[in-house]
Chain A
Amino acid sequence: MVEKKKWLPRWFYQLASPRWCFQICGKLLPGFSVAALVLLLGGMVWALLFAPADYQQGNSFRIIYLHVPSAILAQSCYMLMAVAGAIGLIWKMKVADMVAKSCAPIGATMAVLALLTGAIWGKPTWGSWWVWDARLTSMLILLFLYLGVMALNSAIESESTAAQASAVLSLVGLVNIPIIKYSVEWWNTLHQPATFKLTERPAMPADMWVPLLVMVVGFYCFFAVTLMLRLRNEILRRERRSGWVRDLLLSK
């Protein structure tokens, strides 16, 4: 007999087990929490006290250290939600559905933070809280997509139907991600172009972008923490009838 070759690594199948996922998240949580705390605190002190002021924008430039990480995270979180939704649709993997569901509220708050800090930054820089600019509008659409996914999840009673519907919505909404990314190039906008590009060095000096990078990494660690917290809740809730959750509850 020829053993059928697995074309996906072992951990991918293990991830499908809610119990294994619950445990691995519990093990990863402390490390990510410490990393997020150190990076965010250090990054904020660096951003507020030590980064130089911009020669045109003055100190309002320091808003970038919250605005860019939250905007990046809002988009990454959306992509994760859509990919997890697709995995849930294709492989009927319950954990993937739970990841997708847990992503939505986090991404929504990140989109709100990016929009609000952008508005606050826009007032002293552009003279207006809001303009119907391509970047701003596509980001607002991202927020509405998150809200739509959350609404679908809470409106549909059957968990599997809710997961399917929100996965389809998030996959359709994926078109918005490249629109956000290229909006500053395709349209004439007020919004400045991206700070970080994969192919080029940042246009700003290192003592400005290094703390920004610290904040971005810190936001990703924070995202991992809050996602795992939500995911563990979701696993407990849906697996409440299984033996291991009962044992866990009794042992507490």
Chain B
Amino acid sequence: MSFNSFSEFLSMGGHGLYVWLSYALGLSVILLNLAAPLMERSRLIAQLKRRLQRENQSP
């Protein structure tokens, strides 16, 4: 462990803003890259299902 206290960990030796901003960005980019295809998947499946039902109803 390279920090003695939690406040020391948060301040990162005066570089807290830079470090935490980077990690917040990193996490949001990772989560965005997972959320976007998952949301697209449910949207796509719902859309394709609707289309399939329409085709089945009006042959």
Residues of A with Cβ closer than 8 Å to B? 40, 44, 48-53, 58-60, 62-63, 66-67, 70, 105-106, 109-110, 112-113, 116-117, 120-121, 123-124, 222, 225-226, 229-230, 232-233, 236-237, 240, 245-246, 249-250, 252
Contact = CB atoms under 8 A, between A and B. Distances in A.
Given A58-B14, A113-B26, A120-B22, 11 more contacts: A48-B9, A49-B9, A59-B14, A63-B22, A66-B22, A109-B29, A112-B29, A116-B22, A124-B18, A233-B37, A246-B52
Given A44-B23, A59-B19, A117-B22, A226 B49 contact: no
B52 A226 contact: no
Interface string B16-47: 10110111011001101110111011001100
A13 to B, nearest CB: 27
B54 interface: no
Nearest to B21: A120
A51 B52 CA distance: 54
Give the residue among B9, B18, B38 with the most A Cβ atoms within 10 A. Answer: B18
Contacts of A63: 18-19, 22
Contact of B41 (A53, A233, A246): A233
A247 to B, nearest CB: 10
What's the dominant secondary structure at chain B's contact region?
Answer: helix
Contacts of B1: 49-50
Nearest to B32: A109
Nearest to B25: A116
B52 to A, nearest CB: 6
B33 A58 contact: no
A229 B41 contact: yes
6 closest A-B pairs by CB: A229-B37, A59-B12, A60-B15, A66-B26, A59-B13, A226-B33
B40 A233 contact: yes
A226 B34 contact: yes
Contacts of A124: 15, 18
Nearest to A102: B37
A252 B56 CA distance: 16
Contacts of A66: 22-23, 25-26
Nearest to A63: B22
Contacts of B19: 48, 59-60, 62-63
A123 B22 CA distance: 12
